[in-house]
Amino acid sequence: MITLKEVKTKKELKAFVKFPFKLYKGSPYWVPPIISQEMKTFDKKGNPVFMDAEATLWLAYRGNEIVGRVAAIINWLEVKGQNIKKMRFGWFDFIDDLEVSQALLNKVETIGKAHDLNYAEGPVGFSNLDKVGVMTEGFDTLSTMITWYNHPYYIKHYEAAKYTVEKSYSESSFPFSNVKPEFFKKAQIVIKKRYQLKSLNFTKTEEVMPYVDKMFDLFNDSYAGLSSFVAITDIQKEYFKNKFISFINPEYIKFVVDTNDNLIAFAIVMPSFARALQKAKGKLFPFGFKHILHAKKHSKDVIFYLIGIHPDYQNKGIHALIFNEYYDIFTKKGIETCLRTPELEDNIAIKQIWKHFNPEVIRRRKTYKKDIA
């Protein structure tokens, strides 16, 4: 018999966060989160997302053993502001037992119905800066710190619960040797002159900070047209600024501005922390920091985390300026592999940006949807 229990205490929250450590123990492909950071995500006093969203966390038990978990999420900016009556769910993990997954999904659906929502979709987080999608291909590839990993059996559980595919994503990689400067070196000179633009490079985090709020504004503008997009609020900007920017090498943050110093494009690349996080085993102390700092300085793999271009400048070759700046720093650092975060399969514009580098799809993932009204 399966029983569900809502997470109420710090001890229960830690059990919620640590469940995947048991589920994926021994997996060479799963990348564990930092336990303390994951717990802060659900801190209703510390994470400003809870000013506009709510979440209840649930653990599934068989006897005294935890056999599954799920976060049932409502983003009120989405529901009330956009009139998208969606019940979100994420952090959805379970043993290979349909009774477990069905009990957790039933709980999500019950909460959604109680709030007069029309459908449930997951796995997703609170916003577009959270992890998204259940893996459907690429189970034998190393995951990243910004994606969920899952066992292949997850898919049949969604299907058994009568969920259907809502969105499809792909993750790609390409060797840095595929990046040929002739694709952008001359073009970026012409584009800079034509539109009176300049690239900004940084060596210190404090140099980046004056532009970060503008970057989030541009993020909202450039991604607004994508399905399921929920804008980042002003108070969330400050939260993400403190959480992420100091974690990223300043030389991996690139901005493009016009003659009035208006930000018209940005890109954020991160070193791959996957191997370091596996060594850290969820803990910063006593050695986790050491592994992470080493990866920050010496990782030969990088992840293109975000690229945003103002709508007025899209399809005008602005990415040539960005790639030109990255080419020089990647060459200096001896970067070997470039990875891309999950991108919607129907995002044709982003595919056009990468086409010259012959990327190879290494993972696919999907979100699943079920009507509950």
Q: What's this model's pTM, rounded to 2 decimal places?
A: 0.94
For 238-243, the CB contacts below 8 A with 24+ separation are 238/48, 239/47, 239/48, 239/49, 240/129, 240/216, 241/209, 241/212, 241/213, 241/216
- Which CATH architecture is the domain 175-363 placed in? 3-Layer(aba) Sandwich (3.40)
Q: Quick one: average pLDDT of 313-339? A: 94
Residue 225 burial class via C-beta count within 10 angstroms: exposed 0-12, middle 13-18, buried 19 and up: exposed
Residues 228-240 pLDDT 10s: 688 888 888 888 8
Burial class (CB in 10 A: 0-12, 13-18, 19+), 124: buried
User: Tell me: the pLDDT tens digits for 85-120?
Assistant: 999 999 999 999 999 999 999 999 999 999 999 999
Q: What is the pLDDT of residues 297-317, one digit of tens each?
A: 999 999 999 899 999 998 899
Domain layout of the chain by residue ranges: 2-171, 175-363
**Residues of the chain with pLDDT > 70: what percent?**
99
pLDDT at residue 129 greater than cutoff 90: no
**Residue 225, pLDDT above cutoff 80:** no
Q: Do domains 2-171 and 175-363 have the same CATH topology?
A: yes
Q: Report how far residue 133's alpha carbon sits from residue 150's, in angstroms, rounded to the nearest whole number.
A: 10
Helix, strand, or coil here: 363?
strand
Cite the beta strand spans of the chain per DSSP E.
2-6, 53-62, 65-75, 86-94, 119-122, 134-137, 164-175, 198-200, 253-257, 263-271, 301-309, 337-340, 343-344, 360-371
- Residues 36-43 have a mean pLDDT of 95
Mean pLDDT on 239-252? 85
> In the prediction, which pLDDT does 237 show?
86
pLDDT at 351: 80
- pLDDT score, position 152: 98
Four-way CATH pick for 2-171: 3.40.190.10, 3.30.70.520, 3.30.450.270, 3.40.630.30: 3.40.630.30
Compute φ and ψ for 317, nearest 5 degrees: 80, 15
Predicted local confidence at residue 227, as pLDDT: 66
The predicted pLDDT at position 322 comes to 94
Q: Which two tokens stand for residue 217?
A: 């504004």
